[in-house]
Amino acid sequence: MENHGRGHDPRPEGGGAPPPDPLPYEGVWRFTAAAVDASVPQARRAVRDLLQRQGVPVSEDLVYGLLLIVSELVTNAVKHAALLSPMLAVEVAVGAEWVRVSVEDNHPYRPTALEADHGQTGGRGLLLVREVAREAGGVVDVEHTSNGGKVIWAALPLKPATLP
């Protein structure tokens, strides 16, 4: 996997007051890999190692959820997009209070979370991603890219969600 670090400010650009100095663990990192089965565990290890190396204050439960999300999204890209997108990208963006993982491919199909038949094995990956994110107090979305592909991302808070 290639690592393309992109600095220390994952926040969107915009007007207003300048942002405070970033915390030591803030930044955006991007890994590229071939859309093959071996990339799933490689992506998981790369994300886990990055979180550790940067000293991101994540709980074990949050790390587990993030790695599950990465596994599901990379698996989906390998299974469903590899024909039109032989490469994929995994991006990790860390802010002061959140972490966002995304997987990008060049396939134009925008997946939807389908209710799968309980007797069926597979087909629940995006549902699982949405549920993991929801339980952590985060969000998931799919966006089109400028090159006609898509990026699927999940953003989770670094602090545990408080349930009502």
Reported as a single tens digit per residue, the pLDDT across 81-107 is: 988 999 999 999 999 999 999 999 999
Check if the beta carbon of residue 151 is closer than 8 Å to that of residue 60: no
What letter represents residue 52's amino acid?
Q
d(CA 66, CA 42): 14
What value does the mean pLDDT of the chain take? 85
Return the pLDDT at 145. 93
Report the range out of 9-18, 19-28, 29-38 with the highest average pLDDT.
29-38
Model confidence band, residue 11 (pLDDT cutoffs 50, 70, 90): very low
- Tell me the pTM: 0.80
Q: What is the mean pLDDT of residues 113-134?
A: 72
Q: How far is CA 112 from the centre of its chain?
A: 16
Please give the order of strands across the beta sheet that includes 2-5: 2-5, 27-34, 87-94, 98-105, 150-157, 139-144
Give the model's pLDDT for residue 2.
55
Q: Tell me which amino acid residue 137 is.
A: G
Query: Alpha-carbon distance 155 to 125, whole Å?
Result: 17
pLDDT digit string, tens, across residues 44-65: 999 999 999 999 999 999 999 9
β-pairing verdict for 27-34 and 150-157: unpaired
Q: Tokens representing 156?
A: 């989770």
The pair of structure tokens assigned to 51 is: 């979180």
